[in-house]
Amino acid sequence: MSKLVKKIVISAVVAAMVATVAVPTAQAQTAAELQAQIQALLNTIAQLQAQISSLSGGTTGGVTGIPAGFTFTRNLSQGSSGSDVMYLQVLLNANAATRVATTGAGSPGQETQFLGPLTANAVSRFQTTYASEVLAPLGLTSGTGFFGASSRAKANMLVASGAAPTTPTTPTTPTTPTTPTTPGISTPGLEGSVIVTVNSNPASGAILNTSETEAVTAVDVQVTGSDVLVSRLDLQFDTRPWLYISEMVVSDGTTSKTIAVTEANTTEVTVGSVYSVRVGDLNVLVPKDTTKKLTVTVKAVSSLPVGTTTKNIVLTFKANAIRGTDGAGLTQTGPTADLGATRTITVQEPSTADLELTAHADNPKARAVLINSTAETTGVTLAIFNLKAKNNDAILRTIEVNDTDSVATSASNAPKVLYLYDGATLLSSTSSLVANSSTLANIDLTIPKDTTKTLTLKADFAKSSGNYAEGATSTWVVGIDTSSVNAEDGASFATATVSGSQVTAGTAYVYLKAPKLALASTPTIADAGGLPSGSSGPQRLNGELKFAITAQGGDIYVPVYSATTASNGLQASAAAAVASITITQTFNSDADYGDTNNTTYVVRSGQTKTFTLNSSITGCDGASADEKRFNGVNLDWIKWGTTVATAEQPDNSWTWGLTSFKTPQLELLPCQ
């Protein structure tokens, strides 16, 4: 229908209406009656305009609220803002099926410039309404809430034609709208579930001094089926928590929520025994099919209630302690029942620090220490020990070092300077040696509570000239007792308690020249023709010890083993010697002979030679039937010297540091 025809029709209708009004007016109608007739005429005109628009398939002037000529030009998503967002809401509100909201912000007449969850949901319904034009070209079957190119093209077409969004009578493809209703959820429309368990770390038994902060418990939140945004965590206590805890933090390592623990935000479930504290607004996102650990850290109050010096608190996770929202917008909770793994927290007034003294695993065993003949020998390790602070921080002040050797150290061969190190950091040194003891002062090392420091004691020795004779030895045995350690509490500066055990290093044998011993292979022992059970014959075991000798500081001589002069060389013994067992030894080496009579081997300075001890054990187990005897070979000593003459001297027997120079033990057959 042309514009001219439409104008003629409207004009004719209006003229007829006016004519009908004019006659009653002449009859002096009241003002109220005239006003009613005018309103009726306006309503009729509006109906006629709608009918004409319907017949022509066009619009009378675009979508109300959207400026003429406006088009959408950019992608819009949740969080977008601008005037085009407001016009999008106007377009969506033109149809009840795609309306953003019925009341409040976003509703007709109250459109906003922010694209939030309600607008995204309305966009999803708009996309479903025009699925064949918007979704199908993209291979989608459900609305996404993202206002992209295909959605924008359809919206611009509707704005240009002045038509409001309509719902097709028969949708091309039946769809179910799925919309992310929770920020951060990447699995819109999917339902999830949560499983909550107590994590083993931190363990129960945390001890906090007043004002201290420590992690006390944690739960694992396992999510399946959908992402879940965890919003809150409830914790239950067996006492009034605000009297002992001032602050609580829940964290997944990235997102944290801190709350003050007060009487106001604590729920009293059972007077005096059951109290609940809720940590809300967590906003911890747990992705689908993953597990996140939520750690609870508490801060103790600055002072305990009057008359209380220590308080044990039991923390429990009750059923539904965790709450979150999944991709379908459904609330998910866990655990399904109370968790049995409780956590005990002890809050106490600070006690005096305690230092625990122990030997370190690398504390030296008996060994040779070579002395330089022309200059001082520096940095010789004498002892390595641990100090652990308990209850509170501790400040180490002094340590007294003692020479526990039964032979008093003379002024000439005693260490000239002692040093105490924390790693590579020098803490203290001293050159004062009084009555075989020395005090390292002004250490001032702070050891934090529950922290272990490993300290190393080192020494410088005087040059050998005038102090040591060739081949002679001086010994130094370091001892540190609990009474030798002086420390203070890190807060009150009161004297700290020192506990633990005395640390004694293995003897340091100080030489000008000395051998260095080391195993060349793993010691072995094997059954060499043991007779079957029931035989009256003895059993034979063969053992082998192979070790290396390195000459340090000069040539080292070792006597050749002889069955008739066994005491002159290397000596081994049966590990479980009994009357019915005999041992036969053979001894050989790849070292050269050191004399023309071939009575000694020589290892030249700096060289390493291999020595092998083969032992044959013959015997049987004569113990009672309910006992078992085992046997092996132990290396008892090796004689050595710096000359052929000194090699066989009794005082040059090497008897220390041989604990690893032994074979395993085998069970002997019983004697018959």
Residue 187 in any domain: the answer is no
Tell me: the pLDDT tens digits for 574-611?
Answer: 666 555 677 777 888 999 998 888 888 999 999 999 99
Query: Number of folded domains in the chain?
Result: 5
Q: Which two tokens stand for residue 417?
A: 């300077």
C-alpha dist (Å) from residue 252 to 203, 218, 221, 226, 249: 17, 10, 10, 19, 10
Give the end of a domain, one of 497, 512, 527.
512
C-alpha dist (Å) from residue 550 to 553, 602, 643: 10, 11, 15
Based on the fold, state whether residues 544 and 568 are members of the same structural domain.
yes
pLDDT at site 11 = 47
Based on the fold, state whether residues 445 and 520 are members of the same structural domain.
no
**Which strands sit side by side in the sheet containing 425-430, from one edge to the other?**
425-430, 417-422, 452-461, 377-390, 354-359, 497-500
Residue 558 in any domain: the answer is yes
68 three-class SS: coil
Residue 564 in any domain: the answer is yes
pLDDT at site 599 = 84
pLDDT at site 383 = 93
Residue 71 in any domain: the answer is yes
> Which residue type is seen at 635?
L
pLDDT at site 581 = 72
389 contacts: CB under 8 Å, gap ≥ 6: 353, 354, 355, 447, 448, 449, 450, 451, 490
- Cα 336–chain centre separation: 27
**Residues constituting the chain:** 672
Based on the fold, state whether residues 13 and 82 are members of the same structural domain.
no
With pLDDT > 90 as the criterion, what percentage of the chain qualifies?
43
Based on the fold, state whether residues 586 and 443 are members of the same structural domain.
no
Give the end of a domain, one of 148, 179, 210.
179
Based on the fold, state whether residues 344 and 369 are members of the same structural domain.
no
Residue 593 in any domain: the answer is yes
15 contacts: CB under 8 Å, gap ≥ 6: none
Closest-CA residue to 662 (of 589, 571, 592)? 571
Q: Look up the domain containing 237 and give its range.
A: 193-348
CA distance 64 to 62: 6
Tell me whether strands 245-251 and 290-300 are parallel, antiparallel or unpaired. Answer: antiparallel
Give the end of a domain, one of 447, 481, 512.
512
Q: Which two tokens stand for residue 556?
A: 């080292």
H-assigned helices in 100-257 = 117-129, 131-134, 149-161
Based on the fold, state whether residues 162 and 44 are members of the same structural domain.
no
The domain that holds 148 is classified in CATH as 1.10.101.10
The conformation of residue 365, written as its DSSP 8-state character, comes to: -
**Which strands sit side by side in the sheet containing 508-511, from one edge to the other?**
367-370, 508-511, 474-476
Q: Which two tokens stand for residue 421?
A: 């190190």
Based on the fold, state whether residues 169 and 272 are members of the same structural domain.
no
Residue 245 in any domain: the answer is yes
pLDDT at site 198 = 95
Residue 25 in any domain: the answer is yes
Closest-CA residue to 75 (of 147, 24, 165)? 147
C-alpha dist (Å) from residue 260 to 82, 241, 243, 345: 39, 11, 12, 18
CA distance 402 to 387: 18
Based on the fold, state whether residues 117 and 236 are members of the same structural domain.
no
Based on the fold, state whether residues 617 and 558 are members of the same structural domain.
yes
Residue 672 in any domain: the answer is no
Based on the fold, state whether residues 489 and 559 are members of the same structural domain.
no
pLDDT at site 65 = 85
Q: Could you give phi then psi for residue 105, rounded to 5 degrees?
A: -60, 130
Where b means 16+ CB within 10 Å and e means fewer, 639-665 reads bbbbbbeebbeeebebeebbeebbbeb
H or E element: which one contains 460?
A: strand 452-461
CA distance 192 to 225: 4
608 three-class SS: strand
**Which residue positions in the chain have pLDDT lower than 70?**
1-62, 163-182, 404-414, 432-435, 464-474, 529-538, 561-580, 622-629, 649-652, 671-672
The domain that holds 238 is classified in CATH as 2.60.40
Q: Which two tokens stand for residue 383?
A: 């002892």
Q: Model's pTM, two decimal places? A: 0.50
Burial of 406 per CB tally in 10 Å (0-12, 13-18, 19+): exposed
**Max Cα distance, the chain (Å):** 163
Based on the fold, state whether residues 458 and 598 are members of the same structural domain.
no
Based on the fold, state whether residues 489 and 361 are members of the same structural domain.
yes
H or E element: which one contains 434?
A: none
22 contacts: CB under 8 Å, gap ≥ 6: none
Burial of 556 per CB tally in 10 Å (0-12, 13-18, 19+): buried
Where b means 16+ CB within 10 Å and e means fewer, 240-276 reads bbbbbbbebbbbbeeeebeeebeeebbeeeeeeeebb
The owner of tokens 């927290």 is 345
